[in-house]
Chain A
């Protein structure tokens, strides 16, 4: 039997589709209403609320907690002061990505980390290698529920319940009380929009849920499922483990592994030359960056609208443009010269309703990865493979100023 999150009693009656799926062993709704698109638009137009409680949650305490994280995380934890959060990743010794996650320093020397897959033993093993280190790592996954409140009206909703978000910098973290309950609020999310994530003690889940729904009522607050979230994250250019990359830990061969630089996270190492950090995978990453040995570059692809229309129109059918979201691999070919000249692949695909074009996250060889480069993307048209023109685009595809705006007033 799947487990349920602390919000299940509230979510159960809201799921009008009756469809549930499993996420890390928990019951979650792919969508609550018949239209995933409507849920998606609540992220861009009003305010959405998503239960992300199935994420694995770890607490790091002790005087050496920071040192441990500095040793493991590929991004410099030194940049994550008290009241700050960081998107980060950790690698194996060969510089391949194990996982990504968000780490927060919620109090001096106390860090919380979310991860998509279990990693307690991994961190504890490294702590054990650090002889005499004072660090305690706990799995607090079941102690907390997490809600993501995302959308242009998110601040207007949360500011009715607490002052802690006014202002709260992008990737800032604040401890506050909501309805008398202790809640940790971070200015983070997986949508590329204005939003907050709330760590809520499991026993307070119902209270906080009810308060958010009441505060959000006049703002068309909409519970959303994982499908809408995934649609938004493609526009935000955010990678999904299991779709766009895989854990090195459980790969069979290197062809299934990626380095941070291959995933577009080279920006995490901008100060590598001067920071003198020693973290797992450093020498391999350094060598890769110096020698330019990355095999791929992760890029955004914007599919040419006319060409996409054409291949379907020529076949006598309507181009599929409604709620097309896919995590299945689509092949990419070099244009011109040879036919079907394999170049790379797209790992996430979305016909973006907002952007009015299909977009994709893709891996391309370095010579094709420049912005504006043209490639062919293979789509199925009445079960037949057809190529459509796509161009390497800057990511994120959608990046509204409100995402990072300070929000010190009341307007979104």
Chain B
């Protein structure tokens, strides 16, 4: 047998967090290897030319929570980072009405005031309060969370610092925080707004990617989570990376290689190898062994703790937490190639309404009804859709004059009670298409091609268990101190030299890069000790 190759560090999984983590390790001088199972890196942040000339953001499709420090540290601008503004949000109503919000606060006031003058003012107030809360939480998002179970004096002090910090928040901010941890999105919205259309728009942030309805308690934190980012320093705003999120992960790959790191694709890791509780390398599915005394899993917690290593070698309470950890993917995606721009009755010919998000979820009742199907184990017959016609922002996504639409779909439960996803694939595509058709008559005539991504596809293609787009639900029981498990929320694992850096660690899902960055801090700190 040939002598195995040796690296200083191996990162398992070339998703964005794996690439960020490897970038930091390589920058610190470690000879770093990223192993990616597929033929391309990016994980759930990829762009694929499914039809010639049409580039689809297959899975994730926007940027906001990307931690700004990473952009600086990994010199991403030099490697082509370009996040374009997603200016507008268009929310069609059931009665031909709509909400069309953009970058101008005064114009937005008058637009909401068409529906309710009090809602228009309330929206400003709530947006500002949420921005203040998000700002207050940001320092905790950007640091390694304390270990709530540790008796180590540093950790005890960090927990005390956390309690003190929360206690000293401005009273309005603290009160809002309490609401976000004890009420549902709908309950908070009922307090601020009277219009269905406005409530529906806000509530949709509370169900994205999560098996919760807007009246479930967990929805408020999911909503808050989606407001933790910014575009150009404007809180809660989103952007679209040139070339899609695949364009972004290619930037990360270039940065990593510039720091001397190596990427190997079509290299599926079978196991993490460890001896006497210390990591020594990995074995690939083809039998290849690669040595490294630092191994980082960018995969989700189920894979990190129960597939890459023998769960019998893990502490039973950790295994129990990981077994109980909720994935329950409930989102799907349908990507369309279009021959032209969709038309909204009364706003025909307007392309600007699509320059951002088109939000089909006109009321809380609509979202509730969609969720009722999910609870019954079937996909929503009238789903909530978060659509983006990205070619209106980036002309390089399609041939001139043609368009793409990325439609994010809630709900599509991983476990179907009376069918399976191979049977339901086209039915889901038809349902999504007819839902868009309902609001944008003539839409179907524009469809040149559609790509349907079920939760099962997400699991099979990306490796995210049960197709959960966040690598585990964004519930309080699975965030911060508890992500992925209490006591194991600091990127370490029970095996020395084996770390975790996927979205199943703090700060969590979405394209934040935070897990990869903070895990690298922990790793490099441990090595310095």
Contact = CB atoms under 8 A, between A and B. Distances in A.
B143 interface: no
25 contacts: A34-B87, A35-B85, A35-B87, A35-B103, A35-B104, A38-B87, A38-B355, A41-B85, A45-B84, A46-B394, A46-B395, A218-B401, A220-B392, A220-B395, A305-B68, A318-B135, A322-B231, A323-B232, A351-B233, A354-B82, A355-B77, A356-B71, A356-B76, A356-B77, A357-B72
Interface string B84-114: 1101000000000000001110010000000
B442 interface: no
B200 interface: no
B102 A34 contact: yes
Nearest to A355: B77
A35 B71 CA distance: 23
A289 B178 CA distance: 67
Contacts of B401: 217-218
Contacts of B103: 34-35, 37-38
Contacts of A230: none
Interface string B59-85: 000000000100110001100011111
Contacts of A217: 400-401
B211 interface: no
Interface of B: 68, 71-72, 76-77, 81-85, 87, 102-104, 107, 131, 135, 231-235, 242, 352, 355, 392-395, 399-402
Contacts of A2: none
A218 B77 contact: no
Contact of A322 (B71, B232, B395): B232
Interface in A143-178: 153, 156
B72 A318 contact: no
Given A35-B102, A356-B71, A219 B233 contact: no
Interface in A370-405: none
Interface in A330-375: 351, 353-357
B305 to A, nearest CB: 35
Given A35-B102, A153-B395, A44 B82 contact: yes
Contacts of B395: 45-46, 153, 218-220
A306 B72 contact: yes
Contacts of A357: 72
A20 to B, nearest CB: 17
A62 interface: no
Contacts of A266: none
Contacts, number: 73
A219 B351 CA distance: 13
Nearest to A309: B68
B233 A319 contact: yes
Contacts of B393: 220
A25 to B, nearest CB: 29
A34 B82 contact: no
Contacts of B231: 322
Nearest to B138: A313
Given A354-B77, A356-B71, A37 B85 contact: yes
Contacts of A309: 68
Interface of A: 33-35, 37-38, 41, 44-46, 153, 156, 217-220, 305-306, 309, 318-323, 351, 353-357
Contact of A305 (B72, B83, B85, B400): B72
Contacts of B72: 305-306, 356-357
A357 B76 CA distance: 12
Closest 5 CB pairs of A and B: A218-B400, A321-B233, A218-B401, A34-B104, A322-B232
B234 A322 contact: yes
Contacts of A38: 85, 87, 103, 355
A46 B394 CA distance: 7
Nearest to B108: A34
Contacts of B400: 156, 217-219
Contacts of A44: 82
A72 B400 CA distance: 47
Contacts of A34: 87, 102-104, 107
B85 A318 contact: no
B233 A320 contact: yes
Contacts of A37: 85, 103, 232
A307 to B, nearest CB: 12
A323 B103 CA distance: 12
A41 B355 CA distance: 13
A323 B104 CA distance: 13
Contact of A321 (B85, B102, B232): B232
Nearest to B352: A33
Given A309-B68, A356-B81, 11 more contacts: A35-B87, A37-B103, A38-B85, A45-B84, A217-B401, A218-B399, A220-B392, A306-B72, A318-B235, A323-B232, A354-B82
A355 B81 CA distance: 8
A25 B71 CA distance: 43
Contacts of B68: 305, 309, 356
Contacts of A305: 68, 72
A321 B393 CA distance: 21
A141 B234 CA distance: 41
A38 B88 CA distance: 11
Nearest to A221: B395
A45 B87 CA distance: 15
A132 B102 CA distance: 63
Contacts of B352: 33
A318 B104 CA distance: 18
Contacts of A156: 400
B239 to A, nearest CB: 9
Contacts of A41: 84-85
Contact of B232 (A45, A153, A353): A353
Contacts of A351: 232-233
A351 B68 CA distance: 14
Contacts of B402: 218
A153 B391 CA distance: 14
Nearest to A317: B135
Contacts of B233: 318-322, 351
A220 B87 CA distance: 15
A318 B352 CA distance: 29
A124 B232 CA distance: 49
Contacts of B107: 34
Contacts of B82: 44-45, 354
Nearest to B136: A316
A56 to B, nearest CB: 34
A323 B231 CA distance: 11
Instruction: Name which of B72, B131, B232, B401 has the most chain A CB atoms within 10 A of its CB.
Output: B232
Nearest to B76: A356
A4 to B, nearest CB: 25
Contacts of A306: 72
B242 A45 contact: yes
A64 B135 CA distance: 66
Nearest to A316: B135
A141 to B, nearest CB: 34
A306 B73 CA distance: 10
Contacts of A322: 231-234
A37 B356 CA distance: 14
B86 to A, nearest CB: 10
Nearest to A352: B77
A45 B77 contact: no
Nearest to A322: B232
A45 B71 contact: no
